[in-house]
Amino acid sequence: MNDNSGHHWSFDYNYGAQNPQFAQELTGTLREYYAEIAARDTQTGQTLTHVYNILPNYWRGYAGGGAKQELSIGTAIIERNKDNELWNYSVQYENTTSGENLRMQFRCSDKHHRSLTDSWRVDARNGGDDKYSELTCEGSLVEDSEVRLRINGTEILAGTVDASVKLTCNWALFDVIPALARTIQASENGVGLALLEDLEQLRPKSRLGFLESIQNPFPLDGYYLYGAGLLPSYWWLDAHGNIAIASTFFETLVLKERIGGNA
């Protein structure tokens, strides 16, 4: 932990004289969120949406020349609804500093692992004005083992998945981890799965494990995601069954709003 913030090392990026301060921004976002849900009744509905602030782990890479009042560099919105025993996901990721904008649509089974089914689509664009500024990736799972992608019209085989391993997406982990929390904590070696990172990069040997529980800045249970070819990430689950913090190598997502029912 950093003595200045008291936060767990997995999301402690409060370095030196950085301004705005990472710890202050993270804690403030969560405090506002929990104050809001305490002040109103729990919402219900067929569609569940989580909205996250995106905080940069290394501010100097984003700071630019002008002063900023907020550290946030964008927003991630995860929306899903259930239809005929399948979950339909729509994810929007926008980095206002880099200009990166992602739209992801996919479907998962109504099981704890949220296994990918059928086909999926990613629309990506950035702030550039050349032919590489936009990309469309359409994918499908063939015979429950082959992951095939069509990127701007070119088809490739991304890899194969063992039939005994569940294939999911990192954006579904916001529901997978709450569903498997007790199983993960009870397992010494964690839970194995195959991950299709951002619906493009196949990581067939990945594992979810329990990290520890903390009380600061709020009571949270921590989980890790490790895997071959995959940068480690850390996921913190609150008492209400929501992922409050998801920290990857370059950025940290902090829960700012929840809309709708249960997943």
Please tell me the predicted confidence (pLDDT) of residue 98.
Answer: 81
**β-bridge mates for residue 245, sequence order:** 236, 254
Please tell me the predicted confidence (pLDDT) of residue 42.
Answer: 56
Query: With a cut of 50, which residues of the chain have pLDDT below it?
Result: 1-3
Please tell me the predicted confidence (pLDDT) of residue 184.
Answer: 98
- As a whole number of Å, the CA-based R_g of the chain is 18
Please tell me the predicted confidence (pLDDT) of residue 144.
Answer: 76
Please tell me the predicted confidence (pLDDT) of residue 163.
Answer: 84
Please tell me the predicted confidence (pLDDT) of residue 3.
Answer: 43
State the Cα angle at 38 between 72 and 263, rounded to 5°: 75
**Using one digit for the tens of pLDDT, what is the confidence trace for 2-34?**
445 578 999 999 875 566 789 999 999 999 999
Q: What are phi and psi of 197, to 5 degrees?
A: -70, 120
Enumerate the H helices of the chain as residue ranges: 22-39, 173-186
Tell me the C-alpha distance between 139 and 120, whole Å. Answer: 5
pTM for this predicted structure: 0.92
Q: Is the dihedral of CA 169, 220, 52, 8 positive or negative?
A: negative
Please tell me the predicted confidence (pLDDT) of residue 59.
Answer: 74
